[in-house]
Structure 1
């Protein structure tokens, strides 16, 4: 391979989405929840996935996170085809998801939650095989939270004693720490106040600054335009519009969600307007 070929290959890898869905179809009996849905997120960007109720975004997220297998279509992680049979498969591929219910263990400490399922065990000490290295986990948790700007009283504090914003921030931090490709956040600030929401969004900002790719599912349009680099819109089970967040307004997003504005070529061919396509 020549030097020029090597440069072209490197550029192609840089332009390649970290996580991509192509032509995803998902059926539930006679109901087709996804009808050839596409989606893509690149390294170091926040992409918001929006759509009205029933648009298919929740189903797409479940497919991308391994919670539900697709019936047709393919998922690629860093250009490599993947088939997720469970959330464990998605995590092995570097895709971590934070759902609205957080999936944190209230009775465990912050450190125990961060390392839940990935505990560090002591080794090399006779008779102590299988014991947890709590000191190492507390140290690792403190370092991770500091890097992401997450503030908690102590890493030994039980999750149940934290505020809603702190709990959500810990859940997001856990996903960021363990993800190698993408973090998917499903309505991460839906039940939070203004101050708590700001803290969670700050964690998302720091994750992006560190080169992490983030998928944000949200109904909050002003928040989407504030935090996202791009916005992908779903309607009737497929992606119908893509925008650069800096180039659109809330009215544009609402129009895309209702079908009054589309940017996808196949939709425009059916008579819809074409506006600000994102390559």
Structure 2
């Protein structure tokens, strides 16, 4: 679809390639997907490939010019790996690999009320990945020429969720941190997620980072969001008494003024 993506240049070397998840299916309670293109003098990184609704490669190619392109997935959910099939190889954390080694079934989109979800019927409601998967474990550093990008392991949303930190101290948080709907994985417990938040909190304070770049909703967020999430996680018992059940997501959730925390019914809060 023409003009599916919104292209936002936030720095000379950073672009957001944005799309609307709510137009595909509003039952995820999420409006925006933010995919990031980071340009160095010799190479570039595309952090996530979006939902797969439309071709992200056709957007990226003119921007990167003759630079080599490195594809990195923040994690293995369909709205972040949907364009993987357009690229020869993709980096992903080893703990998130298994899910994308075979096509991901998104037939749940058949029941979406949105006309845009019908685009996935042309692909038989299957999300394919790239031909080659390159494994990450965390702490890898990619050189883009005049810019370096480090991988930070931050499990919690999924076991293999990662963030990226540039040598200019831009921190891209994937689905680990953002306003709106936060999904917690049954691969881990809340202590794992809390530890990831604490690790990022220490990092931003150590480096004096003030702004984060999340994969959903607002794309430039004050680092105070980490403290906000930690307060919720540390007082979770006060919120669980107000939990409700989402039949589409087959998960429990509770709301706070800025977040909806969504978690499996059997999630370990102990």
Normalising by structure 2, we get a TM-score of: 0.29
**Which structure carries more helix by proportion?**
1
Which structure has the larger Rg?
Answer: 1
RCO greater where, 1 or 2, for CA within 8 Å and sep 6 or more?
A: 1
**Which structure carries more strand by proportion?**
2
Normalising by structure 1, we get a TM-score of: 0.29
